[in-house]
Amino acid sequence: MSFLELNDLRIHFPTDDGLVKSVDGLSFTLERGRTLGIVGESGSGKSVTSLGILGLHKGGRAKISGEIWLDGEELVAASPEHVRTLRGKKMAMIFQDPLSAMHPYYTVGAQIIEAYRIHHQVSKAVARKHAVDLLGRVGIPQPDRRVDSYPHEFSGGMRQRAMIAMALSCDPELLIADEPTTALDVTVQAQILDLMRDLQQEFNSALIIITHDLGVVAELSDDILVMYGGRCIEYGSAEDIFERPEHPYTWGLLGSMPRLDRERTERLTPIKGTPPSLINVPSGCAFHPRCAFEPRTGGKGRTEVPELLETEGGHLVRCHMTREERRAAWEQEIKPTLESE
């Protein structure tokens, strides 16, 4: 069995307006030392998935079904108290905006010490030394002094480093980074991504990067999972997704990604329309109202939910078009527009 395995995970939230199907039947596996990128627009269910793995929806209003296996343990049916003991130690999370994700009233050091001491019975002095070490390791200068600073006294990049130090405090085997670089300057983004790659290799942990930015994913991921409307619509190796994408939505994501090697006069091609409502998910393929290729499915796109099927060697696609149609469309219609030098 894989280190992390999700089987048909569903996370639904009952609301006054109806049932919000944030995650609706998600399955994937991840090994130690590997990096999975989960990509999708806002509201595609990426963050809900990651919080679900950590068990942070437990005890709330969410209805969770399916299975999450972490190192041979099933977490969906496990007691919230048991999952809590794993949280922070076996699996940890790096959050998007470190300014709001760190408590403004406690020093950075206090917050790291707290994270370490929940899971380790050590004195404050030992934990403090550990916190200083960690801050040094994530590249914060003068860590023995900065450990007593408050989050607001750090720059954005430093805060994200501190956040990473906090997540790493207990050597987690699974690390989930939710939009780790979105709130940062571009130059700092690259540093943080480098740092995460180095640390992952050092700890040999499994890493999940959640982002809407394909550039980040290209930088770090071994495998990529594209989410749309709470479901996986394409899954494959980074090479599959960037070289041979087969889903029209993935094409759209690639087309809307700014690239330096393109002519400036050329316009980005945004994906038409808006992300689907998770209460009234469009019938059939959730992407069909925005899909330029929908007419080619002969009406099936509006009525039938396509299956997530393997197209070749671990590359999965959820689309009504046949493999040949998809490949032809990619090679002849989409790829040339992305590569017009």
Partner 1 sequence: MVTYIIRRLIWGVFMLAIVSLITFAIFFLVPRLAGATSESLATRYVGRTANAEQVQIATERLGFNDPLIVQYGRFAKGIVAGADYDYGPGVEHCPAPCFGYSFLTRLPVWPDLLNRLPVTMSLAFGAAVIWLLTGVATGVVSALRRGSVFDRAAMTVALAGVSLPIFFTGIVSLVAFSYGRPLAITAPGGSFTPFFDNPVQWAYNLILPWITLAFLYAAGYARLTRSGMLETMNEDYIRTARAKGLSERVVVFKHGLRGALTPIVTIFGLDVGLLMGGAVLTESTFSLPGIGKYAIDAIVNQDLPKVMGVTLVTAFFVVAANLIVDLLYAVVDPRVRLT
By CB under 8 A, is residue 78 in contact with partner 1?
no
Q: Name the nearest CA neighbour of 182 among 139, 155, 211.
A: 211
Quick one: which segment of 63-71, 86-94, 260-268, 290-298 binds partner 1 (CB under 8 A)? 86-94
3-state secondary structure of 254: helix
| Candidates 32-40, 50-58, 245-253, 276-284; binding stretch for partner 1 (CB under 8 A) | 50-58
Number of residues that bind partner 1 (CB under 8 A): 28
Walk across the sheet containing 91-94 and list its strands: 91-94, 174-178, 206-211, 35-39, 223-228, 231-237, 315-318, 308-312
For residues 12 to 31, the per-residue mask of contacts with partner 1, x marking binding by CB under 8 A and - elsewhere, is --------------------
In the set 67, 71, 97, 213, which binds partner 1 (CB under 8 A)?
97
Nearer to partner 1, 96 or 205 (CB): 96
User: What is the spatial distance between Cα 93 and Cα 239, in angstroms, rounded to a whole number?
Assistant: 26
Name the residue among 74, 77, 65 with its Cα closest to residue 8. 65
Assign residue 72 a region (left: φ > 0; alpha: ψ between -120 and 50; beta: otherwise): left
Q: Tokens 């940062």 sit at which residue?
A: 184
Among 23, 70, 86, 220, binds partner 1 (CB under 8 A): 86
d(CA 325, CA 45): 28
Taking the C-alpha atoms of residue 234 and residue 319, their distance in angstroms, rounded to an integer, is 9
227's tokens? 């989410």
Among residues 63, 103, 124, 272, the one that binds partner 1 under rule CB under 8 A? 103
| Shortest distance in whole angstroms from residue 60 CB to partner 1 | 11
- Is residue 102 close enough to count as binding partner 1 by CB under 8 A? yes
Asked if residue 85 binds partner 1 (CB under 8 A), the reply is yes
Please report, as a single letter, which amino acid is at residue 64.
I
Q: Looking at 16-24, 92-100, 311-319, 324-332, which segment touches partner 1 (CB under 8 A)? A: 92-100
Write the binding mask 133 to 172 for partner 1: x where contact by CB under 8 A, - elsewhere: -----------------x-x-------------x------
List contacts with partner 1 (CB under 8 A).
51, 54, 56, 84-89, 92-93, 95-97, 100-106, 114-115, 118-119, 150, 152, 166
